[in-house]
A and B are shown apart, each in its own frame.
Chain A
Amino acid sequence: MIRARCEVLSSRAAGAFQSVTLVAPEIAERAKPGQFVEVAVPDGRADFLRRPFFIHQASRRGGWAGTVELIVDRRGPGSTWLAGTQAHEFVDLIGPCGNGFGLPRPTNCLLFGIGYGAAPLYFLAEELRTRGKRVDMIVCARSQDRLLKPIEGKRLAHSITIVTGDGSVGERAEPLDVLEETLERSSSQVVYAVGPKETLRGAAELCRTRRIPAQMAVEELMACGLGMCLTCVVPVTETRGGALVNARACVEGPVFNAGRVQWDRWLGTEVSEPSEEDVPAETSVAAK
Chain B
Amino acid sequence: MKPTLAVDLAGVHLPTPVMVASGCLSSPKELAGLVDPRKVGGIVTRTITAEPDLGAPTPRMAETASGLLAETGLQNEGVEAFVVDLPALTQVGVPLFASIGGTTVEEFTRVAARLIALRAVGALELNLSCADAHRENRPFAASANRAAEVVAAVAGISRVAVFAKLSDEGADVVDVAMQCVAAGAHGLTLISPIRGLAIDAETARPKLASGAGRLSGPAIKPVALLAVYRVAEALPDTPIIGVGGIATADDAVEFLLAGAWAVQVGTAMFTNPSAPVDVAVGVGRYLVEHELPSPASLRGRAHHQMAGNRG
Question: Are A280 and B34 touching (Cβ within 8 A)?
Answer: no
- Contact status A49-B34, CB under 8 Å: no
Q: Is the interface of A mostly helix, strand, loop or mixed?
A: loop
A226 interfacial contact with B, CB 8 Å: yes
Q: Measured between alpha carbons, how far is A226 from B274 in the docked complex, in Å?
A: 12
- B26 near A: Cβ within 8 Å? yes
B55 at the interface (CB under 8 A from A): yes
Query: Cα distance A94–B68 when bound, in Å?
Result: 20
Chain A contacts with B in 172-231, Cβ cutoff 8 A: 220-224, 226-231
User: Which of the residues A221, A228, A235 comes within 8 Å of B25, measured between beta carbons?
Assistant: A228
Q: Which of B30, B70, B217, B273 contacts A3 (CB 8 A)?
A: B273
Asked if residues A228 and B26 are in contact (CB atoms below 8 Å), the reply is yes
B54 touches A244 (CB 8 A): yes
Interface residues on A, range: 20 to 34
A14 at the interface (CB under 8 A from B): no
Cβ of B66 within 8 Å of any chain A Cβ, yes or no, is: yes
Select one of A40, A50, A221, A227 contacting B58, CB under 8 A.
A221
**Interchain pairs with CB closer than 8 A, number:** 98
Tell me the bound Cα distance from A226 to B269 in angstroms. Answer: 10
Separation of A1 and B66 alpha carbons in the complex (Å): 26
Asked whether, in the complex, the Cβ of B270 is within 8 Å of the Cβ of A228, the reply is: yes
B63 lies within 8 A of A288 (CB)? yes
In the complex, A50→B273 CA distance in Å?
11
Q: Give A49 Cβ to nearest chain B Cβ, in Å.
A: 5
How far does the alpha carbon of A232 sit from the alpha carbon of B68 in the complex, in Å?
A: 14
- Complex contact A223–B30 (CB within 8 A): no
Contact between A221 and B60 (Cβ–Cβ < 8 Å)? yes
B61 within 8 A of A: yes
**Known pairs A48-B218, A266-B58, A280-B59; A223 contacts B270 (CB<8 A):** yes
Residues from chain A with Cβ under 8 Å of B211 in the complex = none
Closest residue of B by beta carbon distance from A49: B63
B63 touches A231 (CB 8 A): no
**Chain B's nearest CB lies how many Å from the CB of A219?**
11
Q: Does B305 contact A (CB under 8 A)?
A: no
In the bound complex, how far is the Cα of B65 from the Cα of A46, in angstroms? 5
What residues on B are CB-neighbors of A232 within 8 Å?
58, 60
Q: Which of A3, A47, A234 contacts B63 (CB 8 A)?
A: A47
- Indicate whether A29 reaches chain B with its CB closer than 8 angstroms: no
1/0 contact string of A267-288 vs chain B (CB within 8 Å): 0000000000000101000001
| CA–CA, A286 and B62, complex, Å | 15
CB distance A233 to B59 under 8 Å? Answer: no
Contact A227 B59 (CB under 8 A): no
If A49-B270, A49-B271, A226-B30 touch, does A231 touch B24 (CB 8 Å cutoff)?
no
In this assembly, does B297 line the interface, its C-beta being within 8 Å of a C-beta of chain A? no
Instruction: Spell out A's residues near B (CB within 8 Å).
Output: 1-3, 40, 46-50, 94, 220-224, 226-235, 244-246, 251, 266, 280, 282, 288
Q: Would you list 13 pairs from A and B whose C-beta atoms are within 8 A, ordered by A residue?
A: A46-B65, A49-B68, A94-B273, A221-B60, A224-B270, A226-B270, A228-B23, A231-B58, A231-B70, A233-B55, A235-B54, A245-B54, A282-B62
